Chain A
């Protein structure tokens, strides 16, 4: 039990739709990172938010966007869904942006795009 929760656990969307995934950070954590994990692959870094500001981004197009709220919960939004967006989306919260030891992953949201 990492104290990081994600919702929903699973969802199915169709190509072209928009989706919002949610993450509740561990208490006291001010940083959240989002990762995409395709089937059989390792997680890929999407972006990170630190104290409500985007603090770095991986190689993902602008249709992937995020928000972090004052209570440090977070959302990942994906517009114009494509079939390749089907994956497990993981969020990870940490005490500060550089601390691997305090970074805890949630169980993920599995997204299927048809």
Chain B
């Protein structure tokens, strides 16, 4: 099935550092979502974006809906150990809730 491309695939960072990851698609999306998944759990929604150019924050997390509507970015500022996990982007091309998920970015934070 179709999946979005996320980069990087994985990253190790030091506690306190800022983190950036992105998600790209060959199709135009109407909605971009960012999720975090911990081991043994389902994904948890972090941020939802609905308009091209939109910039939305949730605590230390900031996400942007790309102007081309084919990409989205997630930034985490001042990372802490509990930020460890897998981050997924997801998008919807037609407003029909058939969300397509990315391949995931695995984040590990070194204390």
User: In chain A between 81 and 114, which residues have their CB closer than 8 angstroms to a CB of chain B?
Assistant: 90, 92, 97-98, 100-101, 103-108
For A98, give its contact among B45, B90, B97, B100 (CB under 8 Å).
B97
Size category, B interface: 20 to 34
Residue in chain A with minimal CB distance to B38: A107
A4 to B1, CA, bound (A): 26
Cβ A56 vs Cβ B97 within 8 A:
yes
Cβ A42 vs Cβ B31 within 8 A:
no
A35 to B42, CA, bound (A): 10
Contact with A along B89-100 (1 / 0, CB 8 A): 010100111111
Write the nearest CB–CB distance from A58 to chain B, whole angstroms: 6
Write the nearest CB–CB distance from A104 to chain B, whole angstroms: 8
Residue A33 at the chain B interface, CB threshold 8 Å: yes
Q: Which of A43-51, A62-70, A71-79 contacts B (4 or more CB under 8 A)?
A: A43-51
Given A42-B90, A101-B48: A4 and B42 interface contact (C-beta under 8 Å): yes
Cβ A42 vs Cβ B42 within 8 A:
no
**Chain B residues with CB under 8 A of A2:** 42, 44
A84 to B28, CA, bound (A): 30
**Chain A residues with CB under 8 A of B90:** 42
A40 to B102, CA, bound (A): 11
Residue B88 at the chain A interface, CB threshold 8 Å: yes
For B103, give its contact among A4, A41, A106 (CB under 8 Å).
A41
Cβ A107 vs Cβ B40 within 8 A:
yes
**10 closest cross-chain pairs (CB), A and B:** A105-B42, A42-B101, A44-B1, A43-B101, A100-B48, A45-B98, A42-B88, A90-B42, A59-B1, A105-B43
Mark A residues whose CB is within 8 Å of B: 2, 4, 33, 35, 40-45, 48, 56, 58-59, 90, 92, 97-98, 100-101, 103-108
**Sampled A-B contacts (20; CB under 8 Å):** A2-B44, A42-B88, A42-B101, A42-B102, A43-B101, A45-B98, A45-B99, A56-B98, A58-B98, A100-B31, A100-B92, A100-B99, A103-B45, A104-B42, A105-B41, A105-B44, A106-B42, A107-B40, A107-B41, A107-B42
